[in-house]
Amino acid sequence: MMYRNLRIALPLAALLAAALTGCAPSVEKKTTAAPTADGAKKKIVVGFAQVGAESGWRTANTQSIRSEAEKRGIDLRFADAQQKQENQIKAIRTFIAQGVDVIMFSPVVEPGWEPVLQEAKKAGIPVILADRAVKVSDESLYVTFIGSDFVEEGRRAAEWMAKKMNGKAVIAELQGTPGSAPAIDRKRGFEEEMKKYPGMKIVISQTGDFTRAKGKEVMEAFLKSPEGAGINALYAHNDDMALGAIQAIEAAGKKPGTDITIVSVDGVKGAFEAMVVGKLNCTVECNPLLGPTLFDAAEAVAAGKTVPKRIVTKEGVYDQTQAKGLIADRKY
């Protein structure tokens, strides 16, 4: 198994193809995608346990996975776990029982996967982590982790805010799902970068579970809290929560994007729309279009090849000055 980091830019598929190597896989498989007697390639079966449909990002991610599977003629078994780990574990057990060729999943939280991943390993089914990481003591329980560097996203958000606000900000933070890799890492990266600026402080912080409805609800509570009057910046771990918070800020009679500088993560179209009208200040991109890269890896693994242990998506940072020019070309 190779352990190396690889930064990939779009088009992801082409670059990943170049990165895949032809060595033996670390996990034995139950079935292979070897050509059949008549020379036709065997249709691989992939089980995917998705987090849910909590955000615009997730919708685009699901769409990318479904359309890419269809394009390649992959038999995709798709399960929506409605943001519950127990549902994801159930789905993975079903995939194991069905003897799929590859299991992919986007773990809702980091801990708690060891037993089910051991079961997959025993069954000889390779596992690919899509978008979010797991916390396991044995890294051989998954073949590769394909997704963004969330710590870096947090750093970029803080860096942009520091520049915009000259290193002085009274910040409210809307965190993602507790225990999830993006919530943990985006907080860590932001706080790490913020240390360079003693004038920047997070005065209030709570989860909004990556949804618009919770983002709005929690921001309402923030504004009514004793810290509320002093808040002049908001860091939201995703765009959906920021968009919900914008509604709460307006309802409280303040101007989002002006009275409160808002930075969020994802770069979905709704964020660009909000930037164009001046209500959101900056979005740090997190690319959900992972379908091509994921299935390049799945096909390679099913064909007995080794893939890099970590594949990182390359992403940008966008603010109001760029929003108008870029919005028409946003793919999600």
Name the site residues for ligand GYE (rule: CB under 6 A). 54-55, 57-58, 131-132, 182, 210, 238, 240, 265-266, 286
CB-nearer residue toward ligand GYE: 286 or 300 = 286
Query: What are 62's two structure tokens?
Result: 């699901």
Distance of closest approach, residue 240 Cβ to ligand GYE, in angstroms: 6
Distance of closest approach, residue 130 Cβ to ligand GYE, in angstroms: 9
Query: What are 97's two structure tokens?
Result: 């029982």
CB-nearer residue toward ligand GYE: 68 or 153 = 153
Instruction: Enter the DSSP assignment of 172.
Output: E
CB-nearer residue toward ligand GYE: 8 or 302 = 8
> Which residue type, as a one-letter code, is found at position 113?
W
Tally Cβ neighbours within 10 Å of residue 119: 15
Distance of closest approach, residue 180 Cβ to ligand GYE, in angstroms: 7
Sign of CA dihedral 198, 204, 205, 208: negative
b/e 247-273 (16+ beta carbons within 10 angstroms → b):
bbbeebeeebbeebbbbbbbbbbbbbe
Distance of closest approach, residue 195 Cβ to ligand GYE, in angstroms: 23
Distance of closest approach, residue 58 Cβ to ligand GYE, in angstroms: 5
* Polymer length in residues for the chain: 332
Nearest to 290 by CA among 145, 76, 150, 151: 145
CB-nearer residue toward ligand GYE: 147 or 256 = 147
CB-nearer residue toward ligand GYE: 220 or 240 = 240
CA distances from 170 to 39, 160, 260, 262 (A): 64, 15, 9, 12
Q: Can you tell me the distance from the alpha carbon of 46 to that of 50, in angstroms, rounded to the nearest whole number?
A: 12
CB-nearer residue toward ligand GYE: 9 or 34 = 9
Distance of closest approach, residue 328 Cβ to ligand GYE, in angstroms: 22
Q: Can you tell me the distance from the alpha carbon of 247 to that of 266, in angstroms, rounded to the nearest whole number?
A: 19
Q: Can you tell me the distance from the alpha carbon of 150 to that of 146, in angstroms, rounded to the nearest whole number?
A: 12
